[in-house]
Each structure stands twice: as structure tokens, then as C-alpha cells.
Structure 1
């Protein structure tokens, strides 16, 4: 089918890049050793602090979130170090796999992919570790494959209650600038993020926010690192530069995206995402379908994963929606393949865009022969009409 109008990219990232950001990226490249670039770097690092909720260093890499995962591990840990990982979904599993390949001793807390990291299990595991051999706890804040948000303050409280010295490493790739997050206040040691979701950029930049405790750990950590080493980047950033050739035009886009977040105000950004998430869940339930996340406290503000009834294929629904209505929905990953589709509602999104998205999903479900109540869109609109 010939498509007219704009494609609806409703996957949980990369998200729609605002026109303002695209125009900023299109500016001429400047000398990355000159004074104009130094001003750009300082402005970006200053604006990033409130988004992460930190006054400490934020390291920027020209990489995907996977690179930021590796940077967090190699800067803080040594070969054979033991790490405690919560298996909350596909991306948590990939991070665990990376830790194993890097030569770390990985202890996995299994999960059903419908719940977040369990604070009680964190308490039990850390209490049992009387020799303090666990060097770090790895948690994905918002699991992109499931739409489940782990309760990071409760994980921090569990660590503190045991008096355990383990570092807390948190992946915020699909939550930063979409769901309330506070690196300093929540006692996180390394926060991992990427550019292509709540920050409204194309893929290509990733981030580590670093606590003083993590920075101290990096001075004695012995995992091999060169490109990912925080020290030379932080040193160069103090002068407004990088020790490598930076992704200048993506940094232009990042500055513009941060300006947009400033203009809207972070509390309003978080509230908007929560409204859109609530409207989406109301639609799903009115259709008679089930949201994958099983704990009301852990519903994601960034995306909603929808379970399809037995006898139906989520990927067939996605294919119909793409072919007939030019909209992309997220696929089920890992053990969820064919069982769920994911609706992304993060980044540069407004009420009418979400209404169109849910209308497209509803038409796709009907076209795929999924038995639903067509009241789903109406339920979402009722929520969107309330401020």
C-alpha cells in the first residue's frame, strides 16, 4: 500500500525526533578543538545534570546504550568480581551476558518478566553475603522489553539496610527524561542512558552519571579499558573538550532537546508521560486485553507491553498495522516473541499523537481477528480529556 502522511513510529525507541532537534543536527560542523565547541560542551553538561538528578560528573560517549553498559562495568570492577543481577527482561539478560563475557562472576536473581527487581530478594542476597564479595548490584530501571519499572529507591534502601558496600548500577535507557529519576537522591553509583528515547535524539550517544563512590572505585578497578575510561574524558570535559573526536552534530541535537525539556519543565514531562501511560492502559483493558506488567506500582510511563490472547500472533498484528496504517509497534523480545506487542508512548508525543496511535492499534486488532471491545479508544480519550 502506498503510504501518505507521516509514519507513526510507536516503538519504545528510537523515538520520533522533533523537527527542532533535526534542524539543530543539520547545522554545520565546527572545530571540536575550538572555543565555540568548548561552550557547547559546558552548556550540555550543565543542562544534563538536572535530567539525571545529579551534580556529579556525566560522561558522554559516541555509542549506543550497550557501550554505556560496558563503560559502567569496566570502570568500576575487576576480573572475577561478583555482581548481583536482576533478570527483569530481555535487556537485563543482555547486560548480564555482557558481564559474564567481561570475566565477572554473575549471580542472577531469576524473574518472570512481569515484575521489577524485588527489594526483599536484594535484602536476602546481600544479607547472606557476609564476606561482601558482591561488588555491584545491576538493575534495569525501566525494562524496555516488558514495560516494567523497578523501584530503585527501595533497592537502594535494601542495600543500605544490610550495610553492604556494593555499588548500585542502574540502566535508565528507556526511562531517563520520561520517568522521574534521581541519581544523587536515590544513591545510585552509575546511571546508564542513551540518546534515542526520552532525550528525543537519533541513536548514537550514551551516558554514564558517576557518583563519588564509583569514581573512587574506578581508580582501583582492573578490568581492561581504554576508550571507555572515564578519567581522560572527565579531565578533558573540564576544559570543554573530549579526548576523542566527538559526535558534534548529535551534540547540537542534544543541546536542543535539553532546551525543550527545560521549556516544558521536567515535572511536566514526567506528568505527561504518566497521563499517556494511564490512557494506554485504560485502552488495553477496555479492549479486554492484558497489560504484561503485573504490579500496579511498576507500570511504565514510557511504554506498555500488551499480551495477545492465545491463538493469536502479536507479530501478525504488528505486520497488519504497519502495512495498512503505516505505524510501527514494538515486537516481543526473547521469551516474549509473538506473545506481546509494545506501544511506545515516550519522547516527543502529545495527546492527539497518542489517540491516533491507539486508534491504529484498535483497527489492527480488529483486522487481525482478535476479539476486542471497541470501547478501548473511547476509554483512552476520556482520560486524555482530563488534565
Structure 2
């Protein structure tokens, strides 16, 4: 039985859904073919363009991020096409496995799960592909299993420097609306996203942002597609409708979430996440523990993955923390299972929520008998207080 107070859901998604979004979804079911729905659908489609920072097509599917992965590939690729992917972690690996099952050939640039993608390694491989066999480069922007961010603008420059025609596909499932992202400016061809993280919604919506180059590729692509077909969406979407039943109440919530993001200002949203990421990492280091991402420029503002001391179980620590403090932390996945726990600090999240989370982690470390140094929460508090003081001084000038 749950104790007093609210449950702390501090996994890296699904995230806490704000009351405003919950209230927006609390509506009677609407006729998705009726005249009133057009405004709901159009607002959602146009609003997501502002979040992706694109003037191109945005497609909204009822589905999870995995569906958006599949949509990106089946709309642009043909059987046997070669796709270059980068091993940033568990979710990059799952995307590769999905591509394999679709009948694509995949090539993985090996990574150590402690940093984002290496743009130089991608450029080197593309330069070697003189026959132009590689049809797409697929990169995870924010690897949810490791807390590492890939430099997408650098990846685009690497593709251009190699003079290679491959499409650039980017997974932003755990980064969109939390970290700076620019679909058009960075020359991304297909961006993949989901509703349950930075967009502050329950799971159930997935997204593709599509460039003109990707739309052109879709005209000749030969992988089977039906449910995920962009072409089926295009006509109805022009007037705010969908070719099949959309997730109507989630679209109500999406429109409210987009309003909230713009009220705060996207740049402020990104700065807030970066601040919380820095504060969390300072706490981890003060505890004498190690952050999984060991490349400072790639450290994420969305989550912090923490390595356990040798011989100690991350899952046992998470169990103690849940049972004693009613707080869920993310588990380690595949290669880092039971060796890592993940602190989610994204979405509808503020300074006090971070401090409550880090206090729960520190108390959990104590009760679990994990060797650590006290003072991590104070280090984070000092970081956040310094940021607030700087903001106050800037506002006074």
C-alpha cells in the first residue's frame, strides 16, 4: 500500500504528467470525423513543427517510439538496403535489431556506451563507401540507457564532408522538448519522437518529422508499409484530420503541452534541463560515485546514469529506495544491467523536485550500505543556488 505523499517517478520516461495536461485530456470523446476536430488536429500538427523546428511535414501516429522507428525506415528504405548505425547504448541496439527484422542490412559502428556518436568515425566510414551502398545514417540523439548525447550538427557536417547522399535519421524520443534540437537547421531527414518524455504526456503518440529529401525517397522505397505510410497521412492532415482513428484525447493533451513549452520558452526549457543535469552530476561526484557518460560535452540534461561501486547491486539499491522512500529510479539495461541506476530529471520538473530526488538517492545509498561520501545533495544545492543568484543578478542589470 502506498504511503503518504506522492510517488516520485524519477525514471527517464514515462515522465510525470502535469495537471494542466491531465485536465486538458479530461474531455468527452470527440467525433474525429466531425468539423470541431479539425482545429484540434491542425493545432497539434502545426504545433509540433515548432517543437521540431521544421517547416516540413510532421506525422503523428497512435503508437510508441518503436513505431516511429519503423515508420522512418519503411517509408524510405527498400529490402536489402544498407543502414549505418552507431552503438551509443541499449536503444540504438534495439533500433538496429528492428532494422534487421525489416530485411535491411545494418552496420554498427561500435561504441563503449559512455559517450555519444563519434562524427569523425561516421565520416571515415562514409568516405570509404565509394559505391554509395549506405542509404541512411541512424543516430540516437539522447541515449536513454546511458545519459549520453550525440552531436547531431557534427554528424550532419560529417555526412556533408564525405559528400555522401545517405539520409540522416535521428531518434529524439528522450530529447525532444528537453534538449536543443533543430530538424531543419541540422539537415535531418527523419526525426523520430514519442509523447511520454519531454512532451509531458502519457505514452501513446509517436512522431516523424520529414524532410523533402526523405519524402522523395519514400516515392521509390519498396519496404512494405500500411499503417505507417506517410502518404496516407498527407492528404487528411492538410485539413487537420487523420486517415484512421487518432488518439483524440492525447491530442488534447499534446496541444496543452505545446502551449506550456512555449509559455516557458524553449530556450528556457533547454537551460533548465542543462542546469538539472549539471547539478545531478555534481551530486554523483560528491558522493564519490561515477557518471556513466565520461565525455563531458556529451553529458545529458535529461538523465544521469550512475555506476555502482564494484560488487554492489544497482537493482538492490533501487529496491531499497522504492520500498523506503516511494521513489522509482531507472534500471540498467542489457550491457549495464544491475551495474547502473538512472536518475530521470526531465519534463515537468523543477529545482525542488530535483533536490527531493537527490535526497532520496542519498538516503537510499545509506540504507543500502553502498559506500559513498555524504554531501551530494549539498553539492547539487550549491549548484542550483548559484544558478538562481546569477539569474537574479542578470535580471537586476
TM range (shorter): over 0.9
Structure 2: runs of 5 or more not aligned? 389-397
| CA distance in structure 2 between the partners assigned to 1:366 and 1:159 by the alignment | 48
Q: 1:321 to 1:163 in 2, by over 3 A?
A: same
| CA distance in structure 2 between the partners assigned to 1:260 and 1:2 by the alignment | 30
| CA distance in structure 1 between the partners assigned to 2:41 and 2:334 by the alignment | 38
| CA distance in structure 2 between the partners assigned to 1:231 and 1:301 by the alignment | 35
DSSP 3-state at the match of 2:331 = coil
| CA distance in structure 1 between the partners assigned to 2:345 and 2:12 by the alignment | 7
C-alpha displacement at 1:121, in angstroms? 0.7
TM-score computed with the length of structure 2 as normaliser: 0.97
C-alpha displacement at 1:348, in angstroms? 0.2
| CA distance in structure 1 between the partners assigned to 2:148 and 2:296 by the alignment | 10
C-alpha displacement at 1:50, in angstroms? 1.7
Cα deviation 1:44-79 (Å, max 9, x = unaligned): 112111210101010000000000000000000000
C-alpha displacement at 1:184, in angstroms? 0.2
Counterpart of 1:283 in structure 2 is: 283
Counterpart of 1:365 in structure 2 is: 365
Cα deviation 1:163-209 (Å, max 9, x = unaligned): 10000000000000000000000000000000000000000000000
Cα deviation 1:130-186 (Å, max 9, x = unaligned): 010100001000000000000101110000001100000000000000000000000
Counterpart of 2:392 in structure 1 is: none
C-alpha displacement at 1:2, in angstroms? 4.7
TM-score computed with the length of structure 1 as normaliser: 0.99
C-alpha displacement at 1:311, in angstroms? 1.2
Counterpart of 2:393 in structure 1 is: none
Contact 2:117 2:150 in 1 (8 A): yes
DSSP 3-state at the match of 2:36 = helix
Moved >6 Å (runs of 4+) = none
**Please, which moves more after superposition, 351-360 or 369-378?**
369-378
Counterpart of 1:307 in structure 2 is: 307
| CA distance in structure 2 between the partners assigned to 1:135 and 1:362 by the alignment | 47
DSSP 3-state at the match of 1:177 = coil
| CA distance in structure 2 between the partners assigned to 1:154 and 1:66 by the alignment | 25
| CA distance in structure 1 between the partners assigned to 2:138 and 2:307 by the alignment | 27
Counterpart of 2:340 in structure 1 is: 340
| CA distance in structure 2 between the partners assigned to 1:328 and 1:231 by the alignment | 41
Aligned CA RMSD, in angstroms, stands at 0.7
| CA distance in structure 1 between the partners assigned to 2:157 and 2:6 by the alignment | 46
Counterpart of 2:329 in structure 1 is: 329
Counterpart of 2:177 in structure 1 is: 177
Contact 2:45 2:240 in 1 (8 A): no
Aligned residues: 387
Answering whether residue 154 of structure 2 is matched by residue 154 of structure 1, we say yes
Structure 1: runs of 5 or more not aligned? none
DSSP 3-state at the match of 1:107 = strand
DSSP 3-state at the match of 2:191 = strand
| CA distance in structure 1 between the partners assigned to 2:261 and 2:118 by the alignment | 31
| CA distance in structure 2 between the partners assigned to 1:2 and 1:296 by the alignment | 38
| CA distance in structure 2 between the partners assigned to 1:297 and 1:236 by the alignment | 42
Cα deviation 1:228-248 (Å, max 9, x = unaligned): 000110111002100000000
Counterpart of 2:258 in structure 1 is: 258
Counterpart of 2:244 in structure 1 is: 244
C-alpha displacement at 1:36, in angstroms? 1.2
Answering whether residue 83 of structure 2 is matched by residue 77 of structure 1, we say no
| CA distance in structure 1 between the partners assigned to 2:377 and 2:137 by the alignment | 40
DSSP 3-state at the match of 2:107 = strand
Answering whether residue 30 of structure 2 is matched by residue 30 of structure 1, we say yes
DSSP 3-state at the match of 1:232 = helix
Q: 1:163 to 1:377 in 2, by over 3 A?
A: same
Counterpart of 1:127 in structure 2 is: 127
DSSP 3-state at the match of 2:306 = strand
Counterpart of 1:168 in structure 2 is: 168
